[in-house]
Structure formats: C-alpha cells, structure tokens
A and B are shown apart, each in its own frame.
Chain A
Amino acid sequence: DAGVIQSPRHEVTEMGQEVTLRCKPISGHNSLFWYRQTMMRGLELLIYFNNNVPIDDSGMPEDRFSAKMPNASFSTLKIQPSEPRDSAVYFCASSLNREGQPQHFGDGTRLSIL
C-alpha cells in the first residue's frame, strides 16, 4: 500500500525565493498534518486539516507560511519569501479521524535556505 508521499525530498534555494512543498495523503484518510522538525525544537505541528478544512493553524510561524488542501488527495505548504531560519525537515502525516487511529508520516522534505 502506498504511504504518505511527499515531494520534493530535498530542496535547496536562496533566501527570498518561494518554496512549495507537496503532500499526497494515504487514500481514505481524512485528516492531514504538516510538521517541521529541527534539532533545536524537535517536531512541531504547523497546521492540521480535517476533511480538507484547516482546523488549527496556530503552529504556523508567520504569515510567510501558508497551507492549502484543495481536495482529499493533495496538500501544499508554501513559504514566501523563504528565510535561512526556515531550513528544516518538513513532514506531512495523515490519519483516519477516528478514536485511536494513528498518524502515518511521509519521508519528509529536507529544506535548505541559503
């Protein structure tokens, strides 16, 4: 079975550029999560969607960050303009929104802003 698919796996770009990260959740899952992981701060939840609707974006660090989920099989996380402190590994996870159901993670996008 296909897991959560993220693209690109690696992204290196210069500060000020727009960055778009993509995620395809597991088919049938109706909850989607975007996380960011750094050595200093560990794993942080950025935003959470349920049935394509953003439920909580309180973890989004600034207005430079935005996320969309136009349909049940696709989500994007956009950073514009990007800054060096945005460098991190960004993970997408999905789950079936029922009690006890676990989140399943993609392999992440390693983002480096120069």
Chain B
Amino acid sequence: DAKTTQPPSMDCAEGRAANLPCNHSTISGNEYVYWYRQIHSQGPQYIIHGLKNNETNEMASLIITEDRKSSTLILPHATLRDTAVYYCIVRVNMNYGGSQGNLIFGKGTKLSVKP
C-alpha cells in the first residue's frame, strides 16, 4: 500500500470549509484513496473514496490531483461535530484478506472546528 502523509493538526472556523490535504506520491494506478474519520469513543466512520475522478457525497468532496499523488478532503461547511481525527488511506482493494485486509490508519489529521 502507498504511504500517506497528512498534517498532524488543523483548525477551522465553524461554517467555513475545511480542506484536509493528503500526500500519496507512491500511489499505484489501481489504488483507491479512502477517507475515514474517528470521533473520540466512536468507531471509524467512512467518509468518501475515489480512484481518479473527483467525488462528492452528502458528507464531503474529494479532489484528486491529475497525477494522483495528492488529494484533498473538503468539508464544505464545517460544524463543531466535525471535530475528529481524519485518516487518508490508499489501498488497492479493502477486501483482500490477510495483511491486505488490514487498514493502516496512521496518525491522521486532528481537525478542530472552533466557534
């Protein structure tokens, strides 16, 4: 799996867009980019994923650069409930077994949304 690099922490004002970057310069052509977040004492929450094209759902948007070496997760209107640790994961397929079934979350980015 490609290694990812994320800033350890970020602040965002409530109501503003939160833009969380992720570098994955060694990504392979068949690897997907997944974003999860974990709020204290809860399970990791799936947010969005993509392969090449930008993606949008009800939670967020994912912008992947043309060379696929980096991506940005965008929370368009951050709320206090979006305060969490955000993880960027690059995988070929989440459902392979063995070591490939293991999700390596890394340290992620701690996003603090402030009033």
Q: Is A31 on the interface with B (CB-CB < 8 A)?
A: yes
**Per-residue 0/1 for A34-50: is the Cβ within 8 Å of any B Cβ (1 yes, 0 no)?**
01000000111100101
- Known contacts A102-B49, A107-B42, A108-B43; is A56 also within 8 Å of B101 by CB? yes
Closest to B50 in A: A100
- Known contacts A44-B102, A100-B49, A102-B34; is A31 also within 8 Å of B95 by CB? yes
Measured as residues with beta carbon below 8 angstroms from the partner, the interface class of chain A is: 20 to 34
Q: Which residues of A contact B93 (CB under 8 A)?
A: 99-100
Q: How many A-B residue pairs have CB under 8 A?
A: 63
Q: Is A71 on the interface with B (CB-CB < 8 A)?
A: no
Measured as residues with beta carbon below 8 angstroms from the partner, the interface class of chain B is: 20 to 34
Q: How far is the CB of B91 from chain A (nearest CB, A)?
A: 9
Please determine whether A105 and B101 come into contact, CB atoms closer than 8 angstroms: no
Q: Is A85 on the interface with B (CB-CB < 8 A)?
A: no
Q: How far is the CB of B110 from chain A (nearest CB, A)?
A: 15
Decide if the interface of chain B is mainly helix, strand, loop or mixed: loop
Q: Is A81 on the interface with B (CB-CB < 8 A)?
A: no
Q: Is B45 on the interface with A (CB-CB < 8 A)?
A: yes
Q: Which chain B residues numbered 95 to 110 have a C-beta less than 8 Å away from chain A?
A: 95, 97-99, 101-103, 105
Q: Is B44 on the interface with A (CB-CB < 8 A)?
A: yes
Q: Which residues of A contact B44 (CB under 8 A)?
A: 43, 91, 93, 105
Closest to A48 in B: B101
CA distance A36 to B45 in the complex (A): 16
Please determine whether B105 and A98 come into contact, CB atoms closer than 8 angstroms: no
Q: 4 smallest A-B Cβ distances: which pairs?
A: A105-B43, A55-B97, A45-B102, A56-B97
